[in-house]
Amino acid sequence: MLIYFSKMQGLGNDFMIIENLNQKFILSKKIIKKLSNRNLGIGFDQLLLVEKHNNRNFDFFYRIFNANGSEVENCGNGARCLAKFLFEKRLTKKNLIHVETYGGQLILYINKTNLISVNMGKPLIKGFKKIKTNISYFKLLELFIVRIGNPHAILIVSNINKIPVNLIGKFIENNLFYTEKFNVGFMQIISPFSIKLRVFERGVGETLACGTGACAAASVGITLGYLHKNIKVVLPGGKLKIKWLGGLNHSLYMIGSVKKVFDGCIYLTK
């Protein structure tokens, strides 16, 4: 079956976006893994699937699949790319879009300068955990556990360039909890207004950017009093702005740009 899609990226974090509103198909884990292959397929970090929502309070429901075919709850950079996709494809005329994922509700806003702001909801910092490893120089890791639609483990490090992100990230992904796998963020605090961040995404590996990872890291720094309530997050793929007043009663906002890479169509095969 022939399907139409868009390839989009936010700070180098790239997505294949497909609308399941006017075209019908079935995506298996095997097909998604084929599509994600950067040599033999389209190539992406995540696939986003736009669907109708049964609740009139929402404009759309969308699903998120990692490159390995596993389905996840939320994706911040993906949400910003989704907003641009919906608007450019004229699937909505709104610049304030209400969507829902399996991780919860999101409000997407496209401003006049084409930056996209996402109301990510309220981050939930679930505590502090120590984990022992068999990795040289990193025998004991101190992690902050955060959920912002999806689960993150945040480490504060002194020099982000010296961290073996994929090695440690893979260890934490597989050994932190038995019930679910975690994304892992490595945060270096530059000043009260700026951090550097590298993120290992479960089912993908290190990516150029991670929106929910940036939100999770910022929420930890703000809660601990290390960071201001309006900060810049510098990722390998670019910069994001995060705003959060802290506490349980305030939503966190993420602001950044996105770009369309190309539109295309492809035959789905088993």
pLDDT in tens, 45-81: 999 999 999 999 999 999 999 999 999 999 999 999 9
pLDDT for 203 equals 87
- Identify the CATH homologous superfamily for domain 124-250: Diaminopimelate Epimerase; Chain A, domain 1 (3.10.310.10)
Q: Closest Cα partner for 84 from 45, 47, 53, 118?
A: 118
Q: Which helix (H) or strand (E) holds 94?
A: none
In angstroms, the Cα distances linking 229 to 154, 221, 224 are 18, 9, 11
Report residue 114's pLDDT band, with 50, 70 and 90 as the boundaries: confident
Tell me the domain boundaries of the chain: 2-120+257-267, 124-250
The correct CATH number of 2-120+257-267 out of 3.30.70.930, 3.30.70.100, 3.40.140.10, 3.10.310.10 is: 3.10.310.10
Supply the residues annotated as catalytic: 75, 210
Would 2-120+257-267 and 124-250 be classified into the same CATH topology? Answer: yes
How many percent of the chain have pLDDT more than 70? 100
